[in-house]
Chain A
Amino acid sequence: MNTTFEDIYQHLLAGFGEEIRGRDEQCSPAAIKVAPAAIAEVCKTLHTREKTYFDQLSCITGLDNGPEAGTMEVVYNLYSIPYNLHLSLKVELPRNNSNEEPLPELPTVAGIWRTADWHEREVFDLLGIRFTGHPDLRRILLPADWEGYPLRKDYREQEYYHGIKVRF
């Protein structure tokens, strides 16, 4: 076992410079912060580079920090089966505070790991983050005509859905 978190961080820093926004070692697994536009390229590097070879994408989590903070986050948990390595990548992106503003956008990683396909659809469904370049970005868990994104902190459920009162 010779690849450490420090190695990965330094390698990414050398390759991407400004696009790497820092690190967070309080997390378990330790996290690297990445600029939204660069996430797909960073993932591609980590996936293909022989020394890291993150062949499994464990999880994609979307987070909403609320309208006051005005940001949303997406956390990618990567795992490398041959090296038994964990890593998480964090992306912070501005939030739209009203329906008039466009949804926050992020490049997809579905071309690298097929796992991302459904996970990104879920993040889109529940948090309203749009993944550009995604092959099939539809709602996955909720009905297609549902209004709003339930895991947002300021979510208010619609009053009626097909004539059924939503709040009981």
Chain B
Amino acid sequence: MANQVQYTYDPAHFQRSEPLKYSPDELKSGEMIINLGPQHPSTHGVLRLEVVADGEIIKDVVPHLGYLHRCFEKHAENLPYNQTIPFVDRLDYLAAMNSEHVWCMGVEKMLGITDKIPKRVEYIRVLVAELNRLASHFVALGTYAMDIGAFTPFLWMMRDREHIQRLLEWVSGSRMLYNYIWVGGLFYDLPVGFEERCREFVHYLKPKLREVEEMVFSNKIFIERTAKVGVLPLDLAINYGVTGPLLRGSGLKYDLRRVDGYSVYPELEFDIPVGKGEMGELGDCWDRSWVRAKECDEALRIIEQCLDRLQGDLKRTRDFDPREAVPKKIRPPKGDYYIRGETPKGELGFFFRADGRSDVPFRCKSRSPCFVNLSVISEISKGAMVADLVAIIGSLDMVLGEVDR
């Protein structure tokens, strides 16, 4: 049995498992249904879009999700809080540190040990999270430029992302899925020499960001493809619950790092870039991407400040133990909690219900930013050209691992 192919083929399987929302018989004259994905490079993962088009004009887009559903919430209900961290990594696999940070912060808040976390641990967390934010935005911008025809930025940004991945590999042992931030502390302290190497990297990266900015954002082709495309008005963005660079691209200065002021972010200086509609209309694809590029600068500023503190008053000591505050037993008191934090994609929230009697959550729900951000796609692509759909998908910057969970 083990070596046999178990799947029984039936032509009706596809129709039964993911039926189209629109029926081909009910289309108007000239309309057609185009299927985009799930295996299509411009969908950035396994996303299937059912596009109803009238010639080149899009009438409606229906996303079909779930190709990467890995039962995160069911797993989380069956595992102790600390053992779920590797699963949290795999939600948004391009920004695992940020997700870990939110998860651990949430569990610490439930346990009431937020104040007991050593300052050095908090600064290291912010440092690695911002490094990961850079890496995530690099993938977003690089692949986005490639989607609409520029190949060079992709290679340049992947090259620079590689440096970040190697730094984080040095810290945690893995390149993408770290399991580095623990509830109450860290896996290990930073390796010796990391701060110096990281500072070198910051110096290296600063001019590179300028290069990319010049090459991408003032490029005529890039502007023509993205300005006035996929305009997302602010009221619609809020009503859809859109967060992160999309919401800021629509002009609202709203960043949870400032609004909630969690971790050590209140002690750090950074600006929140917002879209201004410089090249076209407020909230178009250009604005969203530009916000991401500007956030890279801000992330670098935060990294520098963290390094200053980590080499200054919080520098490593022989007896510093990053696991000092790690609780032996994680059993939060009974209650419901909703905890949120800012990942590169937007507001990542976790809803927990703890029953106070066991080490596993009674219910854990992840409010993923990509899931919510993706839901706006049919609204902003109505009336656009089919070719612009690729530009719109890319500007949403979603990771299907987080959409499908």
Which A residues contact B (CB, under 8 angstroms)?
Answer: 24, 26-29, 31, 55-59, 61, 63, 75, 77, 81, 84, 86, 88, 90, 113-115, 117-118, 126, 136, 138-145, 150-151, 162-165
Contact = CB atoms under 8 A, between A and B. Distances in A.
B239 interface: yes
A136 B375 contact: no
A162 B7 contact: yes
A142 B338 contact: no
Nearest to A84: B259
Nearest to B363: A63
Nearest to B71: A150
Interface residues of B, number: 47
A29 B338 contact: yes
Given A63-B353, A118-B372, A58 B74 contact: no
A27 B335 contact: yes
B347 A61 contact: no
A164 B367 CA distance: 31
B265 interface: no
Nearest to B376: A114
Interface stretch (B8-16, B117-125, B293-301): B8-16
A118 B362 CA distance: 23
A145 B7 CA distance: 16
Contacts of B21: 136, 138
B254 interface: yes
A82 to B, nearest CB: 10
B74 A151 contact: yes
B65 interface: yes
Contact of A61 (B254, B259, B351, B371): B351
A96 B172 CA distance: 47
B240 interface: yes
Q: Which 4 A-B pairs have the closest CB atoms?
A: A163-B8, A115-B241, A143-B17, A59-B367
A27 B336 contact: yes
